[in-house]
Amino acid sequence: MKRAIISDIHSNLEALEAVLEDIHQQGISEVYCLGDIVGYGPNPRECLEKVMELDVCILGNHDEAVLFLPEDFNLVALRAIVWSRDQLKGRHGESAAAIRHQDFLGELPRIHTEGDFMFVHGSPREPTNEYVFRDDVYYGPKMEALFDRIKRYCFQGHTHIPGLFIRREFFSPEEFNFQYRLTDEKVMINVGSVGQPRDRDPRACYVLLIDDQVTFRRVEYDIDTTVKKIYAIEDLENSLGDRLRDGR
């Protein structure tokens, strides 16, 4: 087994291109995406085109939202989704590319399993929308319910915060020197975010899975270019660009 696992691109083309180049430099050709290709960022079409070439992709809540307008998004996220929908439709209605993009998103699975491995966007209990935050380790019933649904290993995104959940504890990548060897113990692994990290590190984040070795990688990218694109789009709040600089 030799693959890269990415998540939460959020229409950030510069981050995605940097990560895909880093994956290529590691000699990895198999790439799984855990969803949220679109939303927040300025390049939904271009990011979709690149993800459509990957081996596996899971439906994220923002991907779902461009198909069916959500009821639980804040105003900033909702405006970005509406704008993204318009971009994917194209200026002249339902083009062939627009139909292809909608078909791709509409056919994405909510969960992908391979033996002991589960791949979701949100959680093993609710694969698209449920968040699993680090503080959830203090809520025993939730953690027990989540781990009960895992055969052994679950890879997920959604929170944009990388790390490991082992039983009732959360470990950030720094705490295990960015590498973790899989054992018989159940574990939930958040792979972090390519396009909008929120752990105070602005570099794009993803995971390599080589045999039983999990490695978290951070990749620098041209943040200024992405921020300028966001600033230039009226329907994308400037705050969506500002937060990229601080990784928040």
Convert the chain into a string of H (helix), E (strand) and C (coil). CEEEEECCCCCCHHHHHHHHHHHHHCCCCEEEECCCCCCCCCCHHHHHHHHCCCCEECCCHHHHHHHCCCCCCCHHHHHHHHHHHHHHHCCCCCCHHHHHHHHHHHCCCCEEEECCEEEECCCCCCCCCCCCCHHHHHCHHHHHHHHHCCCCEEEECCCCCCEEEECCEEECHHHHCCEEECCCCCEEEECCCCCCCCCCCCCEEEEEEECCEEEEEEECCCHHHHHHHHHCCCCCCCHHHHHHHHCC
The predicted-structure confidence for 49-77, as pLDDT tens digits, reads as follows 999 999 999 999 999 999 987 878 999 99
pLDDT confidence of residue 168: 86
Query: Total structural domains in the chain?
Result: 1
- Return mean pLDDT, the chain: 95
Domain that holds residue 44: 2-246
Q: Which of the pair, 98 or 239, is modelled with greater confidence?
A: 239
Q: How far apart are CA 105 and CA 62, in angstroms?
A: 10
Please state the pTM of the whole predicted model: 0.95
Distance of CA 31 to the CA centre of its chain: 13
pLDDT confidence of residue 91: 56
Position 93 confidence tier, pLDDT thresholds 50, 70, 90: low
The CATH number assigned to the domain holding 123 equals 3.60.21.10
Percent residues over pLDDT 90 in the chain: 90
Contact present, 63 and 70 (Cβ < 8 Å): no
Contact present, 1 and 209 (Cβ < 8 Å): yes
The predicted-structure confidence for 197-248, as pLDDT tens digits, reads as follows 999 999 999 999 999 999 999 999 999 999 999 999 999 999 999 999 999 9
The predicted-structure confidence for 136-173, as pLDDT tens digits, reads as follows 999 999 999 999 999 999 999 999 999 999 988 999 99
Of the listed ranges 70-74, 81-85, 100-104, the one predicted with least confidence: 70-74
CA angle 120, 116, 106 (to 5 degrees): 30
Rg of the chain, C-alpha, whole Å: 17
